[in-house]
Amino acid sequence: MLADLQILVINALVLVALFLVLWRVAIAIKDVSFIDAVWALGMVVMAATTFLQVGQPTPRRMLLLGMCLLWGLRLGGYLLWRWRSHGPDRRYQTLLGKAETYKGWSFAKASLLLVFATQAPMLFAVCLPVQLGQLEAAPAQLGPLAWAGAGICLFGIVFESLGDLQLTRFRADPASRGKVLDTGLWRYTRHPNYFGDACAWWGLYLIAAETRVGLLALPAPILLTWTLMKWSGVPTVEGRLRKSRPGYARYVETTSGFVPWPPRPARPDAEAMAE
């Protein structure tokens, strides 16, 4: 038990050190938008740091590390590309701008307290399945729950990747400016990327849950799902799109908010708002 705690403490120290270095980078370039990519890549670091400490490379440990690598490198790479292609994220510019204007905080203080100091503990908590799931070597073989989790995780990665690809192509088309993406996966859910993200981490939890310690990571996928649906995911994106996309009200009326589902017919009042 003490050895397990030591592994988690080392992971936390590595994460704090990483975030402090990246905070200094953010100060130097006056931009924190790369933190979204760090969210994914940081979880890969936590999975790898745990793997390097636990010793014996059991099938479960290798599966957790491999699936986390597949998810994190894909998403982190995509988010880094998006940041480099589109520049600073308006969400963070607004957040830090308000802190500087109304509280008199410097960029360094605002970015540390409002971005890095909040993201680090959230990251550590959400990726508990790939940490706790590696702490015990037993059971040595993967059971039905782990294989089901691997399937769900892989499905989530593919679903999220396809949603991101469809959105990227839509945004690259000049004819799509001011319009709402309602084809492909986006016809069945307003947030295929968030749904895929949640599936990936519920799958990783199921892989971990075949161990006694891994079972304790249940709050992690719950926290991630709540964050995506109720806090920094859906509410933030939809609040902006309702103001900038005239047809978004109708899209909300007809399309599932999270879990993919066939489109619903729009109410007359939603049709009127879209016109």
Identify the band that residue 243 occupies on the pLDDT scale cut at 50, 70 and 90: confident
Please calculate the CA angle 45-48-52 and round it to the nearest 5 degrees.
135
Residues 6+ apart with CB under 8 A from 24: none
pLDDT of residue 269: 60
- What average pLDDT does range 116-134 have in this prediction? 97
pLDDT of residue 274: 45
Residue 50 identity: T
State whether the Cα torsion 127-93-243-186 is positive or negative: negative
**pLDDT beyond 70 at 270:** no
**pLDDT beyond 90 at 235:** no
- What average pLDDT does range 214-237 have in this prediction? 92
* Range of weakest confidence among 123-127, 179-183, 206-210: 179-183
User: How much is the pTM?
Assistant: 0.92
CB 86 within 8 A of CB 109: no
> CA 238 to CA 71: how far, in whole Å?
25
- What average pLDDT does range 191-196 have in this prediction? 97
Q: What are phi and psi of 173, to 5 degrees?
A: -90, 115
> CA 202 to CA 234: how far, in whole Å?
18
pLDDT in tens, 28-76: 999 999 999 999 999 999 999 999 999 889 999 999 999 999 999 999 9
- 261, exposed or middle or buried, with CB in 10 Å at 0-12, 13-18, 19+? exposed
> CA 65 to CA 100: how far, in whole Å?
40
pLDDT of residue 266: 74
What are the extents of the domains in the chain?
2-274
**pLDDT beyond 70 at 156:** yes
**pLDDT, mean over the chain:** 94
pLDDT of residue 268: 65
DSSP-H helix ranges across 87-216: 90-102, 107-111, 117-126, 128-132, 144-172, 192-208
Residues 6+ apart with CB under 8 A from 102: none
pLDDT of residue 232: 81
Identify the band that residue 273 occupies on the pLDDT scale cut at 50, 70 and 90: very low
- What average pLDDT does range 147-161 have in this prediction? 98
pLDDT in tens, 74-88: 999 999 999 999 899
Quick one: how far is CA 4 from the chain centroid?
A: 26
> CA 94 to CA 154: how far, in whole Å?
35
**pLDDT beyond 60 at 189:** yes
> CA 193 to CA 40: how far, in whole Å?
13
